[in-house]
Amino acid sequence: AHESSSSSSSSSSDDDSSDSTTTTATTDQQQPQRQQKKYQQRQQQQQQQQQRNQSHLAISSTIFKSYPPRMEELAKKTARLVTNDKNGMKPTWRDVICGRTHMPISATWPANLFFHHLLQVHQKQYDASQHKKKQFAVIVRDNILVLGGTFLEWDKHMKCWNELEDKRSLQKTTQAFRDTRKSPKRLPLDKLIVKKLQDLQTDDEEGNDNDDNDNESAASHGSSSAGSA
């Protein structure tokens, strides 16, 4: 009876071992299949994201390219306000000016106006997304890069313009999204460009009037001096 019990126990153990081996083999076979499926899903998601990004870029590119004449006109009027660095470098109208050093200029600079226009276009999607906020920051940042611009910041110690690295420009864009949410809504880009041009024209006219008044004052002072002599 003892031998029979031992034999039965041994047989049961062999069966359990066999089942365990079969299960392990099945799991080993399924593992590559799962990995392959996950890989395919990731590839598909990346392709879909690239298609969405290209769509956004195409739309924004069309928006941007419809304004170059006015953009260039605005750039020429604001160019005199931008500092040349020690190497003679100056931002182009496609470059976003970052930092507080050139804050008054950046509020009128063409690329900055377009940059904030893009922020407004994607603001609702950015706010609504929970885990994909970065992708909208990338879209806005890439719109500037794909159109030949970049993000520049003035180094007051070295007296030169520095191009921001991708990570830093992305941080600036994310921060801009948060700031835009708090700020009042801007005019549409075309109307905003016209308004900025009008403001600059008014400033020029006021500056010319002041120069004329100064010249008249100087002439009057010279005349009275000559009379008293």
Mean pLDDT of 36-60: 70
Whether residue 14 has pLDDT greater than 60 = no
Rounded to the nearest integer, the mean pLDDT of the chain is: 74
pLDDT value of position 2: 45
Over residues 128-140, the pLDDT tens digits come to 887 888 888 998 9
Mean pLDDT of 47-73: 64
Strand partners of residue 163: 152
Over residues 168-181, the pLDDT tens digits come to 999 999 999 998 88
Greatest mean pLDDT among 10-24, 141-155, 201-215 lies in 141-155
**3-class secondary structure, 161:** strand
Phi, psi (rounded to 5 degrees) for 174: -60, -45
Rounded Cα distance between 98 and 81, Å, is 15
Cα dist from 171 to 27, 98, 106, 142, whole Å? 43, 12, 18, 13
Confidence class of residue 167 from pLDDT cuts 50, 70 and 90?
very high
The two three-digit tokens of residue 30, written as one number = 């399924």
Rounded to two decimals, the pTM is 0.61
Question: Considering the chain, what percentage of its residues have pLDDT values greater than 70?
Answer: 64
